[in-house]
Amino acid sequence: MSEVEEGQVSEDDWAAAMGEQASVEEAQAAAPAASAKIFEQFSDGAEKQGNLTDYSMILDIPVSLTVELGRTHISIRDLLQLAHGSVVELDGLAGEPMVVLVNGTLIAQGEVVVVNDKFGIRLTDIATPHERLNKLR
């Protein structure tokens, strides 16, 4: 074996790496004008498309919408004893608005409606973006 054992870095390796780094730094020093043009084109396109109001990219993303009557905590013993016709007491009161959640986040409250023998919900109160942000904190 030579003076430099296998797996160790020799001075020639360091010199080559330093040379590569110097050439990259020189290329970067010469490139700001080119990169500025790239970002300039990108920002021009974003302004033309209305970047803050263009939701077309996210319109097809599926979300989970849940309408919640109420909740309760029961033991496994009580859960196993449930049968056809059993009544489970929920924490929601009769006549109280139901909660509408999107991906687990409260977005609205509403009341049950029946249209053509199908259940639906009529939204009565929609949470403002400010209220939704406060719930995240």
Residue 69 sits in the same domain as residue 127: yes
Q: 31 pLDDT exceeds 70?
A: no
Within a domain: 90: yes
Domain of 71, CATH number, reads 2.30.330.10
pLDDT digits 0-9 by tens, 43-89: 555 555 555 567 788 888 999 999 988 889 999 999 999 999 999 88
Within a domain: 97: yes
Domain of 18?
A: 11-49
Q: 91 pLDDT exceeds 90?
A: no
Residue 70 sits in the same domain as residue 18: no
Looking at the DSSP assignment, which residues form a beta bridge with residue 98?
110
Sheet of 65-68: strand order equals: 65-68, 98-102, 105-115, 118-126
Within a domain: 3: no
Q: 117 pLDDT exceeds 60?
A: yes
Return d(Cα 90, Cα 60) in angstroms, integer: 34
pTM of the model: 0.50
